[in-house]
């Protein structure tokens, strides 16, 4: 089955990619960065998958057209593009403490872990990871599409 490109129900741009069949369908907008699937059909209060989300994801989730839409987390060999709470990033506090939940997009580049640091990164096989996402120094974007532009450039150069 071919992917279908349609108008996004959230941002209204012609950038919604629909893939899969009805029982396993995914809808991903490459403009606004929101995604939904057959696991997220219905309302927040009735959806088991929604209950498994982090508090930030629950705060950012949007109900539209009998679906729950959540921000994308895109992991690639070059790095990870993911939603981040701008207020937490600035070290101001936690949501619920009077702090507004402001979503931005972050790109954490994949970096090598030095031999001296590897003991801090054990893997399930009993060894140590050699690479990690540098979430300590992410590049921040207001819009998902801007982060995707960086991802595209890095993929071309890798």
Domain ranges of the chain: 4-71, 74-157
Give per-residue pLDDT as tens, 38-83. Answer: 999 999 999 999 999 999 999 999 999 999 999 999 999 999 999 9
pTM passes above 0.75: yes
According to the model, what pLDDT value does residue 7 have? 95
According to the model, what pLDDT value does residue 2 have? 61
Give the contacts of 67 (CB within 8 A, at least 6 positions apart).
27, 36, 40, 41, 42
pLDDT-derived band at 138, boundaries 50, 70, 90: very high
Output 141-145 pairs: Cβ under 8 A, ≥24 positions apart. 141/104, 141/105, 141/106, 141/107, 142/104, 142/105, 143/32, 143/33, 143/105, 144/30, 144/31, 144/32, 144/33, 144/71, 144/72, 144/81, 144/105, 145/30, 145/31, 145/32, 145/33
Above 60 in pLDDT, residue 18?
yes
Above 50 in pLDDT, residue 92?
no
- Stretch 81-101: mean pLDDT, rounded? 62
């Amino acid at each position: 089955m071919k992917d279908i490109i349609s108008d996004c129900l959230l941002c209204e741009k012609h950038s919604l990619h629909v893939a899969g069949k009805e029982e396993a369908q995914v809808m991903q907008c490459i403009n606004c960065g929101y995604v939904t699937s057959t696991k997220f059909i219905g309302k927040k209060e009735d959806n088991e998958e929604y209950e498994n989300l982090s508090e930030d994801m629950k705060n950012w989730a949007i109900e539209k057209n009998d679906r729950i839409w959540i921000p994308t987390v895109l992991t690639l060999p070059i790095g990870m593009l993911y939603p981040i709470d701008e207020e937490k990033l600035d070290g101001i506090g936690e949501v619920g403490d009077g702090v507004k939940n402001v979503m931005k997009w972050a790109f954490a580049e994949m970096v090598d872990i030095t031999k001296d640091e590897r003991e801090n990164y054990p893997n399930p096989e009993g060894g140590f990871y050699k690479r990690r996402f540098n979430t300590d120094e992410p590049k921040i974007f207001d819009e998902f599409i801007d982060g995707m532009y960086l991802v595209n450039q890095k993929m071309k150069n890798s």
